[in-house]
Amino acid sequence: MSSSGTTNSEASMSSATKEILGRVRQLVPPMLERFHKGQMGRVAVIGGSEDYTGAPYFSAMASARLGCDLSHVICTPTAATVIKTYSPNLMVHPLMRSLPSSPAKPAGEDSDPSTASKHDTDPSEIASRIIPLLSRLHVLVIGPGLGRDPLMQKTVALVIQAAKKQNMPMVLDADALLLICNDPDLVRGYQEAVLTPNVVEFERLAKALNIEKEVAKEGKETDRVERLARELGGVMVLQKGGKDYLSNGTVTYSVDLEGGKKRSGGQGDTLTGSIATFLGWRKAYHEGLWDVKHKLKEEETAGLAVFGGSAITRECSRLAFAKRGRSLQASDLTDEVHTAFLNIFGEVDEDIFKL
C-alpha cells in the first residue's frame, strides 16, 4: 500500500490479514434504530494525573470516534479540570488521588500530608469510590497517563481485582504494566486482560518473567510474545513494533498493515481505546444484539477484537503520516479514526445480515 494513498488497498494485505479482518468485521455492530444508548460500548480509561493529561484523552477519544457509545475518564482532580477542556464529549470523573508532592497543591488531592485525610490517602478508600462505577461499564483501559505514583498504583491494583470478579475485559498499557512487572499474579490466568507493551515495556515484562532474548528462533519472531502470554496463563499480549504480534500463548496473529514512520508519543493511546471499543462490541455480539448467520466462537473473538484495534491504529498512523510527515502528533491519529475504519471495513450496515 502507498503511504501517500487514501486507502489501505486489499491488494497490499496478506491473504491471512484479509481473512482475519473478514472475521473481525463480524464484531462490528450495524446502526439499527432499535439500539439504545450504551449498548454499543461503555468504556472507561483509568489514568490521568497532574503531569499526564493527554494520554487518557487520546485513548477515550479513540474509543468514542471508533463508535463506542459512552467514553469515561477516571483521573485525579487536577487532570480532570484540564481534560474537561479538551472535549465536552467525554465523561470525566475526578476520583483518583496521588500522594502529596507539594504543600501548594489544592486541598482534596495533593495537599500537605499533615492535613490530608484518609479519604484521599488510603487506596482502599479511593478504590471504594471507583469500584461502584464498574457495573455501568463494559471495558476498562488502565494506564494511560497513570504515572508511577505509589498511591495511584495501589488504587489501580484494587480496581483490577474488583474488575476481575466481574469478569470485565481490561486493556493495560503504560505504567499499568509496571504493576504487572512487580506482581504478575495480578493478571495471571485472567484471559479477559490484554497487555499492550511497547519495545521497552515488553523487555521489562520479559525480564520480570525470566524470558530471555535467546528464546527467539530464526524465522519465528513470535516466540517471545507467545512465551510471555503462556507465562501469564493465557493473557493476551500485543507486542507493538514494525509489525504487531498478538498472542494468548495458543493462538498468535501478526498484524502486517502498514503504519506511519513517525514514532511520536501517544499513538499507543489510540490503540488502547480502539481495542476497548472492539471488546465492547464483542460483548454486544455475544449477547446477540443483532443477527448474524455464522456465529463466531467466544474463545476466538478476544483475539479478533485486539487485531481489529491494532489494524485501526496502524491505518490511522498511515493516514496521519501521509498528511503530516515528520510533524505527526498523537492528535492527528484521533482525527483519522473514522476514515481508517471505512478504509478497512467499509460500510458495515450494507451487508450485515449476509454474514
Any binding-site annotation on 249? no
What's the grid cell of residue 264? 511520536
Any binding-site annotation on 202? yes
What's the grid cell of residue 202? 515488553
Spatial CA neighbour of 72 closest among 46, 98, 96 = 46
Any binding-site annotation on 224? no
Any binding-site annotation on 264? yes
What's the grid cell of residue 54? 493527554
Any binding-site annotation on 347? no
In sequence order, the 6+-apart residues with CB closer than 8 A to the CB of 296 are 23, 26, 27, 285, 304
Any binding-site annotation on 139? no
Any binding-site annotation on 213? no
Any binding-site annotation on 33? no
What's the grid cell of residue 289? 444484539
Any binding-site annotation on 143? no
Any binding-site annotation on 268? yes
Any binding-site annotation on 217? no
Any binding-site annotation on 23? no
Q: How far apart are CA 293 and CA 304, in angstroms?
A: 18
| DSSP letters spanning 159-219 | HHHHHHHTT--EEE-TTHHHHHHH-GGGTTT-TTEEE---HHHHHHHHHHTT--GGG-BTT
Q: How many residues does the chain have?
A: 355
Any binding-site annotation on 203? yes
Any binding-site annotation on 38? no
Any binding-site annotation on 18? no
| DSSP letters spanning 85-139 | HH-TTSEEE---------TTSPTTTS--TTT--HHHH-HHHHHHHHGGGGGG-SE
Spatial CA neighbour of 219 closest among 249, 259, 257, 254 = 254
Any binding-site annotation on 262? yes
Any binding-site annotation on 242? yes
Bridge-partner residues for 139, per DSSP?
A: 43
What secondary structure letter does DSSP report for 327? G
Any binding-site annotation on 166? no
Binding-site residue numbers for (6S)-NADPHX are: 145, 198-204, 269
Which residues contribute to the annotated binding site?
A: 145, 198-204, 240-244, 259-269
Binding residues for ATP: 240-244, 259-268
